[in-house]
Structure 1
Amino acid sequence: MTKIDDFSMELEFTQTYRNNMQSHVAIREANCLRVQFPATLGTIQDGDRLAGRTNWGWVGFSPHNAPPNCAYGYFCHEQKIIDAVERGNIPIAQRDAVMEMLHFWKKENSKAKVESAFTPKMLPVLFRDEIVPLPYNFKPMIAQPIYRMAGVFVDYEKLVRLGLPGLKQEVTEYRDKAKASQGDHLLFEGLLMAIQVLVDSSLHFQKEAEAKAQACSDPVRAEQLRKLAAVLGWNAVRKPESFYEALQLSWLYTLVSGSLELGRMDVYLGDLYVHDLEAGIITEPEALSLMQSLWKLINQLFRDVDGRIIIGGRGRRNEANADRFALLALETTRTYGRAILPQLTLRFYEGMNPLLMERSLELIGAGHTFPLLYNDDVLVPGVAHAYEVTVEEAEQYMPLGCGEIVLDHVGFGTPSGSLNVLKALDVTMRDGVDHIMSKRLGLPTGDLRDFRTFEDFFAAFKKQLAFFIEILADHEELEYVESGKQASYLYLSLLYDDCLPRGKAIFSGGIKYLGGSLESFGTVNAADSLTAIKKLVFDDKVISAERLIQALNANFVGFEKERRLMIDCPKYGNDDAYADDIMVELHEFICNTVRDQRKRTNLDWYLNVLINNKQNTILGRWVGATPDGRKAGGPMANANTPAGGNDKKGITALINSIVKPSHAIHAGAVQNMRFGYDFFSKDKAKLEATLTTYFKKGGAQAMITVINKGDLEHALAEPEKYQDLFVRIGGFSARYIDLPKDVQLEILSRKTY
């Protein structure tokens, strides 16, 4: 029998929003949250040691694109609802109301509010549905807007320290002060309502756990459920007094707030964990069981780019206790088995407990793609410089998503724009025109055949890039402005620094640092293409500009000799100054131009991110043949690493190249490395020397996959035999056989050392 989808929650949410359209935005949001939760919370399943599942709903409120592809803020998953209509999966009595609801949210959702505020300069660049009606990540665009409030790292330490009753008391005091001073007391009323939603959600799960315990015939499971019920009940009325209570509260806040990140768990859970161990309140196996349940929930509910848990690093309050929890997190990853989540991240530094790195490398060598390795000795000073913050604030940097960096609960910087650097070069060679569609996508800066020097052409390319960077910076700022008008983002405002003392919501002047980041793709291919243009057209003059354009337009058919010359040109990743210097110049121009946008916007920072989240392959589909020898539609290089197979001179040359671009002018650069099992396990001394050299020479981070290239080839031929083969895509992991074929082939093309 076909399942009938009930849209009662979505309809009630919509009506509540409409009833509160003239209310204060905090009150409207809080009333909507009361409809959303606990209505969308899922049931406690067999084996769950923690309560906290959600079905999200197809209409609702969330900061970060949940459910997937719903943008952010007030969302409506139009396509899912239309699918239900077409299948006849809506009760007849709801159909008219559901269709009317779709029409209402078409203009009222948060993404639509931003798009309706686009300036005349932004419209032709960012809003191109009339050209190619496809999802945003398939459009042949150079600059693409992204709608989300990603990288949410709330102050979990404060949450654990105060608990829900303590937060309620603090907010009440601020509300009373606001009333007395004629401030915005309604913001605080909304916050109090939001806290009550969390209390109600905890009590909702408590009631369910008690009922399941009573009905359970297994005495061991029944006792687990009774413990869970007690934890949920205590969290509703007092601050956490045990590791279990703190873990449950943190998870519930993550779920209801939609943050999807858990931050520095070793800091905010380490003390309670060690206390409970030493007091005999909990055993290590019991703690491991709770953590394994958390790992399971994250894997079942989150997407592959979410679920960051950070351990290690400078700036921790109690390193000894934090390290013991960090070892627990590593053990959880080992015993849980290979999985794409959580994105366990080790921040390390010289002088840190060596056992953390030792255990981490053991995990990676066993085929896990976690933890990700971040070098604090490089990144802390780099973040301080790039973000213009103190070293103490930089010590609280938080990696997120696909490789971006923000500041823990003091600074927000969602990545809300994507720049296809190689596509920008593609149109620069043709006076700003995309030859695939015969449409103008860029500025009329001249044709490659018109330039007399390489420097003039490079300057035109830089002008093109600056144009798109400015528009994406304007979009980032506009997204915050419009978001602040529509909602208070109560769960973020509650646990981000300065919002409560200032009496302002996070995107309305409350947060200390409001920044942003721009995701860039194809920089390495663009640099290698510039190298080929410089050498072949301008320096050696072995190919004319006319001939090169003809070869590219023909996708090298009939121009095999010219393509071979392009392939044989120097390439980034081989410690060749001819190629590397151009990569460094392009990198510095993009990063500094992005960074300079803070001077013309109200953003506290705006920084480039060199990442890969499959977009290097997806966006490459819309780029024609390029002068580095890449064919039309082929993948672009992965983040800050050489294009597949272009690093031909060994690991030392690779390291010497990839440490040249500065890490003090951007918000993250992914460095993927792939090692064979034999090298990782049988030549440990050489491996450790390689990594030590890389990090000492300025390597900021490493995302390592240990796998033999033959395994990838076999997985392509017999995928059913390789269900547990996991790889690093860029800033996240995935099961290899689940990836699109062209993404699989791009990963296969990468060098294995």
Structure 2
Amino acid sequence: MEHNDIEIKKSLRINKLIEDLYANMPEIEADRAYLLTESYRQTEDEPIIMRRARAFEHILNNIPITIRDQELIVGSATISPRGCQVFPEFSYSWLEGEFDTIATRSSDPFYISEDTKNILKDVFKYWKGRTTSELATTYMAPETKMAMEHNIFTPGNYFYNGVGHVTVCYEKILKIGFEGIINEVKKALSKLKVSDMDYVKRNEFLQSVLISCQAAIDYANRYAKLAVEEAKKCNDKTRKEELMLIAHNCSRVPAQGAATFYEACQSFWFVQMLLQVESSGHSISPGRFDQYMFPYYEADIKSGKITKEFAIELMDCIWVKLNDLNKARDAASAEGFAGYSLFQNLIAGGQNKDGVDVTNELSYMCIEASMHVMLPQPSLSVRVWNGTPHEFLIKAAKLTRTGIGLPAYYNDEVIIPGLVNRGLTLADAREYNIIGCVEPQKAGKTEGWHDAAFFNMLRPLELVFSNGIDQGKQISIETGDVEKMTSFEEFFEAYQKQMNYMIGLMVNADNAIDVAHGERCPLPFLSSMIEDCIGRGKSVQEGGAVYNFTGPQGFGIANMTDSLYAIKKLVFEDRKVTLAEFKHALEVNFGKGIDSAAAEEITKEVASNLLKQGKQVTEQEIRDIYTSVLSGGISKEEQERLNYILDLISELPKYGNDVTEVDMFAREVAYTYSKPLETFRNPRGGQYQAGLYPVSANVPLGAQTGATPDGRFAFTPIADGVSPASGRDTNGPTAAANSVAKLDHYIASNGTLFNQKFHPSALSGVRGLENFISLIRAFFDQKGSHMQFNVVSRDTLIDAQNHPENYKNLVVRVAGYSALFTSLSRSLQDDIIARTEQGF
């Protein structure tokens, strides 16, 4: 197929939709929480799966609906653009505690009215003792909860929220609609016998699916009726016709199979949006949109029912709608997921089940849609292999060159065998898509539990130096007095023991949360679109999917590599520094003390206490106290020795510069997380698999981590993903890519994340694009798994930080997602600015 590379300009309609979308701060609404609670109070004696279905039905029958001005694709979870609903069945106390601060916090603020607060306060009374988070807590071992309190790992993603992180069988709904699903369920019900040992469970589950699917149909009919009502009042002939066509579409889909591309777009959107209404999980990803939508586009183009211009406008509308969905998180989680992102990953290109490249016209149009709207969602990705058309990569590179941080690039040659190694059939693995940030899975068959936890690989290293003690408490196993260790092998073994112990506790936390979701929040609507829930007669949360995984991610590879290498070289090979000196250097933060603001607060407190004791404090004494606090009380001689240690560390080769000895060391470091993890099983009968990426949690979790032997100061960001630490990859982008490629990306089958930042001049002109594609090809030829890029100058980012009013539309790549730069916290902005700026 030859691609018709027509550049279609963004329409006035799309400009208006985007302008309205970002006109105000996102708002929290209470309708879903109120209706959910109202339903739960009426179904106290029913099985939980039926209560979930009836609550979903009650919500969809009664939640306020709206058709926004100029929309062609309708269906909104909230009345206010970018608003969000509340999901108290998972957790609520964090929101109640933030009622007065959520509108002014640094990351992802939300407006919440006093009326909404009052409604939610009354609703929350019902949920005390009934949430998944409270149940999960009771299932966790005491030592697990202690490890969480000390920030070794955090499973907060699903501890306080729904799971999400899934791609459903969109193509099935497009083909047969929910009426088809209902018929399938009725056939399954007809085969049940009341004497079957699992009749009760199967029957209740299947009945709940019937209720949920019918609720989705009825909800769409509400929109059909609303569109007719608005058309009657509309004086604009063109808009009246649009509204009547919207009414027609909503009366047919998603009840029936789609007959046109427009109907397919509307059907897709209802599914995408309603999944968000049922559960607060994020990373509900559209997957291979270009594949399941293409037959409808191709048929309409051939028959003349649609023009390419109108088709791309419909896609633009969907792209805007994907940014309309939103989610409120607690303040700490908002720091880790900053940018209001829902991580809705849409991927284009790649192979079919037979190993044939299936890049098509719609694959290119997905890139064009992202070029038009220039918004963070969808989190666009492209699949790359040796059969990928060069012009497709050129098109993708042109989008990258805009600086939006899209698309991300994924390597079929690594991901497909990696999934086969996890038990997927070759046909299923070839049809993988990406979930959320970087997590591969087979759509419509998988409950992957991706992003199940963040595991900070630097914290077990701290526990080696402290012999398992943190903040005066024995929170981990004893691995010996670090000052008495006589070989690197002994030190490294101690680190592995601390890692293994904490990984086991993380598994305990994840499994406890997993069980709690199965018992209190099964999702019949979601389960209706995942194989083989109907056949097995159980929800996704109870193990109904064909493939079941749990994928917590470890991060800190670069810092751990450089830290362990420094200890190996400086302590045990060159014998220039002792472990006792290293331990002291870390305790005093290499003599750098703490930041000035914190030092001022401590100084005020010390001076106040002295005054309370009746002691006079002169201005000179206050200055001396401040200087002492700021420096950690380090003498001049001691600081000189600490500076000498820092100089020795800085002279060592670092991960990210194509130094084989260091890079193979990084491979072994990654194994300390990935290999032990894959020995565990989850309650749904599936395997644990490692991911190596932090989303953006490397910044806030770095703020909870002390100094490390690589010279990283306390409470500063940890390196993101498998990327080199900021500023240490000094030999250029190819050297950095060569280093990252030496990791074992196959075993990290829940995804790896490699960030690079380029100055815009690096991708200028045809040669810049060709050089860029050559870099990707070379990295993938060496079996790297993923690459993503920021193409923006440091000066631009600094100016945007200082003058945000001039950069309202600046989108950057954060981690496995893009976000508006000005919506990010200052610390996260600083981390992006600090990344090495490469050029060819």
Find the partner of 1:224 among 218, 226, 242.
242
Inter-CA distance 40–449: structure 2 relative to 1 (3 Å threshold): farther
* Inter-partner Cα distance in structure 1 for 2:589 and 2:547: 47
Instruction: Please say if residues 84 and 90 of structure 1, whose CA atoms lie closer than 8 Å, have aligned partners that are also in contact.
Output: no
Find the partner of 1:349 among 365, 385, 389.
385
Inter-CA distance 109–679: structure 2 relative to 1 (3 Å threshold): same
Counterpart position of 2:331: none
Residue 453 (structure 1) shift = 0.7
Inter-CA distance 364–488: structure 2 relative to 1 (3 Å threshold): same
* Inter-partner Cα distance in structure 2 for 1:662 and 1:206: 52
Counterpart position of 1:704: 789
- Mean Cα deviation higher: 207-216 or 735-744: 735-744
Inter-CA distance 473–9: structure 2 relative to 1 (3 Å threshold): closer
Q: 1:147-206: CA deviations, max 9, x gaps?
A: 131312111111111112111111111122225664222211111110111011101111
* Inter-partner Cα distance in structure 1 for 2:515 and 2:719: 34
2:643 partner letter: E
Inter-CA distance 237–583: structure 2 relative to 1 (3 Å threshold): closer
* Inter-partner Cα distance in structure 2 for 1:88 and 1:515: 37
Find the partner of 1:687 among 758, 772, 777.
772
Find the partner of 1:122 among 107, 128, 144.
144
Q: Does 1:619 align with 2:653?
A: no
Counterpart position of 1:333: 370
* Inter-partner Cα distance in structure 2 for 1:321 and 1:227: 32
Q: Does 1:412 align with 2:443?
A: no
* Inter-partner Cα distance in structure 2 for 1:418 and 1:91: 36
Inter-CA distance 169–364: structure 2 relative to 1 (3 Å threshold): same
Counterpart position of 1:502: 536
Inter-CA distance 662–592: structure 2 relative to 1 (3 Å threshold): same
Counterpart position of 1:516: 550
Instruction: Please say if residues 154 and 496 of structure 1, whose CA atoms lie closer than 8 Å, have aligned partners that are also in contact.
Output: yes
Counterpart position of 1:294: 318
Q: 1:701-743: CA deviations, max 9, x gaps?
A: 1111212223223333333333333221110112223322222
- Mean Cα deviation higher: 6-15 or 541-550: 6-15
1:229 partner letter: A
Find the partner of 2:124 among 98, 102, 107.
102
Q: Does 1:10 align with 2:33?
A: yes
Counterpart position of 1:62: none
Residue 214 (structure 1) shift = 1.7
Higher RCO (C-alpha under 8 Å, 6+ residues apart): 2
State the identity as a percent. Answer: 26
Q: 1:586-626: CA deviations, max 9, x gaps?
A: 1122111111213x876422111111322111100011111
Instruction: Please say if residues 542 and 684 of structure 2, whose CA atoms lie closer than 8 Å, have aligned partners that are also in contact.
Output: no
- Mean Cα deviation higher: 459-468 or 738-747: 738-747
Counterpart position of 1:134: none
Q: Does 1:29 align with 2:52?
A: yes
Tell me the SS of whatever aligns to 1:172: helix
Q: Does 1:146 align with 2:146?
A: no
Find the partner of 2:296 among 269, 272, 284.
272
2:41 partner letter: R
- Mean Cα deviation higher: 468-477 or 489-498: 468-477
Counterpart position of 1:638: 720
Task: State TM-score, norm by structure 1.
Answer: 0.90
Residue 74 (structure 1) shift = 4.5
* Inter-partner Cα distance in structure 2 for 1:74 and 1:664: 34
Counterpart position of 2:273: 255
Instruction: Please say if residues 402 and 612 of structure 1, whose CA atoms lie closer than 8 Å, have aligned partners that are also in contact.
Output: no
Inter-CA distance 520–67: structure 2 relative to 1 (3 Å threshold): farther
Task: State TM-score, norm by structure 2.
Answer: 0.81
Inter-CA distance 21–551: structure 2 relative to 1 (3 Å threshold): same
Instruction: Please say if residues 267 and 317 of structure 1, whose CA atoms lie closer than 8 Å, have aligned partners that are also in contact.
Output: no
Counterpart position of 1:136: none
Residue 584 (structure 1) shift = 0.9
Find the partner of 1:439 among 473, 484, 487.
473
Residue 322 (structure 1) shift = 5.9
* Inter-partner Cα distance in structure 1 for 2:358 and 2:570: 59
* Inter-partner Cα distance in structure 2 for 1:583 and 1:321: 36
Q: Does 1:735 align with 2:831?
A: no
Instruction: Please say if residues 467 and 479 of structure 2, whose CA atoms lie closer than 8 Å, have aligned partners that are also in contact.
Output: yes
Instruction: Please say if residues 691 and 752 of structure 2, whose CA atoms lie closer than 8 Å, have aligned partners that are also in contact.
Output: yes
Inter-CA distance 409–230: structure 2 relative to 1 (3 Å threshold): same
1:111 partner letter: S
* Inter-partner Cα distance in structure 1 for 2:387 and 2:225: 48
Q: 1:40-71: CA deviations, max 9, x gaps?
A: 354110121111111299xxxxxxxx958x77
Tell me the SS of whatever aligns to 1:116: helix
Inter-CA distance 395–105: structure 2 relative to 1 (3 Å threshold): same
Counterpart position of 2:590: 556
1:421 partner letter: M
* Inter-partner Cα distance in structure 2 for 1:567 and 1:108: 53
Tell me the SS of whatever aligns to 1:560: helix
Residue 353 (structure 1) shift = 3.1
Counterpart position of 2:344: 307
* Inter-partner Cα distance in structure 1 for 2:443 and 2:416: 13
Residue 82 (structure 1) shift = 7.3
Inter-CA distance 73–405: structure 2 relative to 1 (3 Å threshold): farther
Counterpart position of 1:242: 260
Counterpart position of 1:748: 833
- Mean Cα deviation higher: 732-741 or 458-467: 732-741
Counterpart position of 2:21: none
Residue 98 (structure 1) shift = 5.7
* Inter-partner Cα distance in structure 2 for 1:193 and 1:454: 62
Gaps of 5+ in 1: 58-65, 129-138
Residue 677 (structure 1) shift = 1.6
Residue 90 (structure 1) shift = 6.0
Find the partner of 1:671 among 741, 750, 754.
754
* Inter-partner Cα distance in structure 1 for 2:221 and 2:359: 30
Gaps of 5+ in 2: 1-26, 103-110, 327-339, 592-638
Residue 544 (structure 1) shift = 1.2
Counterpart position of 1:135: none
Instruction: Please say if residues 345 and 381 of structure 2, whose CA atoms lie closer than 8 Å, have aligned partners that are also in contact.
Output: yes
Tell me the SS of whatever aligns to 1:178: coil
Inter-CA distance 329–688: structure 2 relative to 1 (3 Å threshold): closer
Find the partner of 1:577 among 660, 668, 672.
660
Residue 526 (structure 1) shift = 1.3
Inter-CA distance 74–741: structure 2 relative to 1 (3 Å threshold): closer
Residue 24 (structure 1) shift = 2.0
* Inter-partner Cα distance in structure 2 for 1:81 and 1:288: 44
* Inter-partner Cα distance in structure 2 for 1:210 and 1:397: 40
Find the partner of 2:730 among 628, 632, 648.
648
* Inter-partner Cα distance in structure 1 for 2:788 and 2:780: 13
1:159 partner letter: I
Q: How many matched pairs? A: 723
Tell me the SS of whatever aligns to 1:194: helix
* Inter-partner Cα distance in structure 2 for 1:47 and 1:576: 56
Find the partner of 1:661 among 730, 743, 759.
743
Q: 1:283-332: CA deviations, max 9, x gaps?
A: 11111111111111111224424221111112268989861111221111
Inter-CA distance 698–10: structure 2 relative to 1 (3 Å threshold): closer
Instruction: Please say if residues 5 and 91 of structure 1, whose CA atoms lie closer than 8 Å, have aligned partners that are also in contact.
Output: no
Counterpart position of 2:99: 83
1:240 partner letter: A
Instruction: Please say if residues 88 and 127 of structure 2, whose CA atoms lie closer than 8 Å, have aligned partners that are also in contact.
Output: no
Inter-CA distance 509–270: structure 2 relative to 1 (3 Å threshold): same
Instruction: Please say if residues 397 and 772 of structure 2, whose CA atoms lie closer than 8 Å, have aligned partners that are also in contact.
Output: no
Instruction: Please say if residues 517 and 606 of structure 1, whose CA atoms lie closer than 8 Å, have aligned partners that are also in contact.
Output: yes
Q: Does 1:455 align with 2:489?
A: yes
Inter-CA distance 538–81: structure 2 relative to 1 (3 Å threshold): closer
Inter-CA distance 482–619: structure 2 relative to 1 (3 Å threshold): same
Residue 230 (structure 1) shift = 0.6
